Amino acid sequence: MYWQPEKECMSRADLEQLQLERLQSTLYRVGTHVPFYRQKFREMKLDFDSFNTLADIHKLPFTMKQDLRDSYPYGMFAVPLREVVRIHSSSGTTGMATVVGYTRNDIKNWADLVARVLCAAGLTADDVIQIAFGYGLFTGGFGLHYGAERLGASVIPISSGNTKRQIQIMQDFKTTALVCTPSYALNIADVMLDMGINPSGLSLKFGLFGAEPWSEAMRREINEKLGIQSTDNYGLSEVMGPGVAGECQECNGLHINEDHFLVEVLDPETLEPVKPGEIGELVITTLTKEAFPVIRYRTHDLTRLLPEPCPCGRTFIRINRILGRTDDMLIIKGVNVFPTQIESVLFDIDGTAPHYRIVVERENHQDKATVLVEVKESYFFDEMKKQGALIDTIKSRLASELGIGVAVKLVEEKTLGRFEGKGQRVIDKRKI
């Protein structure tokens, strides 16, 4: 049930003491070895001796993605390169890439933290885990791989793509757990149905999905289509990669590995803590990283803390599934809209296939959002009246969820591209 129960079920008092000690040693490490922090601490006249409680965290400076970019490639490393045994990098799709490093000890911790996430999701050494995340500079493939090996499971390092082969391997190798992005899981499920394969004939029991926002409605859809129980797991390369947080089998929020990461949820405007339970930006300080520690890293991911105790017995605090990134949030006619809100509505309407795109443009100085949604074949070839009624239903449900009107266009099944990694469902022409 637990991978490291002595940690995962610690009392809060012991945890806070451990966090404080680890934070103090992280501050010493970065203050001594990372010029960026040395300078910040000097400017702020930070006196480590007065840093006696976790509540003092607010005295520390933030770290932004831009700071990491400015130090490209190795400027933020806190150890000499000869102690670094692995280098990963973020994709750089939204700007210049950032580079992160790991010591041997970091890799060991990483494997344990991912093993915790896998174990919390119900996996054991008896599982056959198919890792359909990309292997390479992206942390998904290798991160999950090392964790799954640490758990003692049988690992299939298939990487992403080649969907028919994924399915073939799943059948032949008797895969019990699929690990990938939720959008790729849905893609695999659809191809499987097209191939006439009944998932109930497979050995698949678990899905561990992460690396992108997804809704509860999407979870239901995947679980039904593949006949599995799926859990959400979260992480980011700047902080470590997967293994930062994961759901247990309660499927009700993700436990943060708090002995390695100190989290805050802040108002992204004022940078003050939000009230307990309110939504804000997740800010993370690493507590054990040797090669690449970060202080108060602004993730831009929006979530809220779920402080109630979890029936699973883990004492680590949970976060709500990530609502979206502040930079993915669309502002349409002045209203904040997250793609996952639109997804939740679409997935719950009969007749729609679970594939969509959101196109936002400016027309006559006004924002215009159009939701393209695939509909099941029967609907598409049905008379206009039935299509009209479906469009009306989608529009009115979206209007009540979002508080603004959006246009809806039905498209034939399988006309919108499918994803093998992170999905890209928004086309914001205002930014092009």
Q: Which stretch binds ligand DLL (CB under 6 A): 59-67, 199-207, 208-216, 269-277?
A: 208-216
Nearer to ligand DLL, 63 or 237 (CB): 237
Nearer to ligand DLL, 37 or 214 (CB): 214
Among 234, 316, 338, 356, binds ligand DLL (CB under 6 A): 234
Nearer to ligand DLL, 101 or 241 (CB): 241
Which residue from 287, 284, 294, 322 is spatially nearest to 306, judged by alpha carbons?
Answer: 322
Both tokens assigned to 119? 């174990």
Both tokens assigned to 193? 């149905």
Q: Which residues of 225-264 are buried (b: 16+ CB within 10 A; e: fewer)?
A: bbebebbbbbbbbbbbbbbbbbbbeebebbbbbbbbbbbb
CA distance 125 to 137: 27
DSSP helix/strand/coil, 101: strand
CA distance 213 to 133: 15
Degrees (nearest 5) of the Cα angle 188, 191, 196? Answer: 125
Q: What strands, in cross-sheet order, belong to the sheet with 366-375?
A: 407-412, 366-375, 352-363, 426-428
Min dist. Cβ of residue 368 to ligand DLL (A) = 26
Please provide the DSSP assignment of 154-198 as one string: EEE---S--HHHHHHHHHHTT--EEEE-HHHHHHHHHHHHHTT--
Nearer to ligand DLL, 236 or 408 (CB): 236
The contact pattern for ligand DLL, residues 55-84, with x = CB under 6 A and - = no contact, is: ------------------------------
Contact call for residue 235 and ligand DLL (CB under 6 A): yes
Contact call for residue 232 and ligand DLL (CB under 6 A): yes
Among 213, 253, 280, 339, binds ligand DLL (CB under 6 A): 213
Contact call for residue 31 and ligand DLL (CB under 6 A): no
The contact pattern for ligand DLL, residues 136-165, with x = CB under 6 A and - = no contact, is: --xxx--x----------------------
Nearer to ligand DLL, 68 or 211 (CB): 211
Residue type, 255: H
Among 109, 183, 233, 285, binds ligand DLL (CB under 6 A): 233
Say how many residues touch ligand DLL, by CB under 6 A: 22
Min dist. Cβ of residue 148 to ligand DLL (A) = 12
Q: Do 361 and 429 touch, CB atoms closer than 8 A?
A: yes
Contact call for residue 212 and ligand DLL (CB under 6 A): yes
Which residues ranging from 103 to 132 are in contact with ligand DLL (CB under 6 A)? Answer: none
CA distance 61 to 42: 11
Min dist. Cβ of residue 17 to ligand DLL (A) = 29
Residue 418, burial from CB neighbour count under 10 angstroms (0-12, 13-18, 19+)? middle
- How does DSSP classify residue 213? -
Task: Show Cβ contacts of residue 206 under 8 Å, excluding neighbours closer than 6 positions.
Answer: 121, 122, 123, 127, 176, 177, 178, 228, 229, 230, 231
Nearer to ligand DLL, 241 or 293 (CB): 241
Min dist. Cβ of residue 244 to ligand DLL (A) = 7
- Residue number, nearest CB to ligand DLL: 210
Nearer to ligand DLL, 44 or 331 (CB): 331
Contact call for residue 26 and ligand DLL (CB under 6 A): no
Residue type, 45: K
Which residues ranging from 308 to 347 are in contact with ligand DLL (CB under 6 A)? Answer: 322, 325
Min dist. Cβ of residue 142 to ligand DLL (A) = 10
Q: Which stretch binds ligand DLL (CB under 6 A): 122-130, 146-154, 230-238, 344-352?
A: 230-238
Among 19, 63, 90, 187, binds ligand DLL (CB under 6 A): 90
CA distance 336 to 344: 16
Q: Which stretch binds ligand DLL (CB under 6 A): 194-202, 231-239, 367-375, 400-408?
A: 231-239
- Residues near ligand DLL (CB under 6 A) are 90, 133, 138-140, 143, 210-213, 232-237, 241-242, 299, 301, 322, 325
